[in-house]
Amino acid sequence: MFDLSGQVALVTGASRGIGEAAARSFAKHGAKVMLAARSAGDIDRIAAEINAGGGEAAAVTCNVADYKDVEKAVQTCLDTFGKLDILVNNAGVIEPISRIELSDPEAWAEVIDVNVKGVYHGMRAVAPHMLKNGAGTIINISSGAASGALEGWSHYCSSKAAALSLTRCGEKEFGDKGIRVIGLSPGTVATQMQVDIKASGINPVSQLDPSVHIPAEWVGEAICWLSTDAGDPYRGIDCSLRDEDVRKAVGLI
């Protein structure tokens, strides 16, 4: 068990999958959590379930592609809980999957707006508060796609490479000021994204049997683990949840 008592976390993309799992894990380990996503009904329900289970959670609608929305989410977290210690930049999309020559430029750009600008917006919005306090943790959800090219995923691979670069830049700029910036590459996870990938039939990932994907709950636990001092070795880089030693350290195997 990781003790996150007294900590406050803001999780983007918290309406399902990894974001929902992270929110529930934070609450389980004693942190207060603000759930942010576009789907108000889902995050309201999840927050209510966390509160009913003895945790402390609240929800705020937020489109991470819109900086004012992210700024509002951060301020709502501060107004609700009095502080913000941990930001999880989890919101991300992969649809529409398409080869470059068939891709829709506007749809391609929308993925960049969420997956790249969303990470930057989160970092930009929390940085002044964390710098003032001289402490904080930012966890950016990455992917093996950050360093590997896959057919049909030009938007996703490019966006995750950019997210990894933001992790590196964040650590370079904030590392000596008490803010830790860490990336987490979870591998393939049993979420709606994998359903969409399989339906595309493009590249080897779509051919994987669903049984090989890890549960989102594993990623939620890994995020909480990285939020403790255990995350220090991964400052400015991606921690891979494919690593057996990492899984053992988190307590997953």
Residue 60: strand pairing partners? 36
- Check: CB of residue 183 under 8 Å from CB of residue 237: yes
Q: Beginning with the edge strand found earlier in the chain, give each strand of the sheet holding 136-141 in spatial order.
A: 57-61, 32-37, 8-12, 86-89, 136-141, 179-185, 238-240
Instruction: Please enumerate in sequence order all residues whose Cβ is within 8 A of that of 142, keeping only pairs 6 or more positions apart, or say none.
Output: 160, 163, 164, 167, 183, 184, 185, 238
Indicate the length of the chain as a whole number.
253
CA distances, 183 to each of 15, 41, 208, 226, 231 (Å): 21, 29, 24, 9, 10
Least Cα distance to 186 among 214, 162, 166 occurs for 214
> Cβ-count burial of 113 within 10 angstroms (0-12 exposed, 13-18 middle, 19+ buried)?
middle
What CA–CA distance (Å, rounded) separates 196 from 194? 5
Residue with tokens 């400015």: 236
Catalytic residue annotation: 156
Apex 208 CA angle, 205 and 212, nearest 5: 115
Least Cα distance to 89 among 187, 12, 175 occurs for 12
Residue 238: strand pairing partners? 183
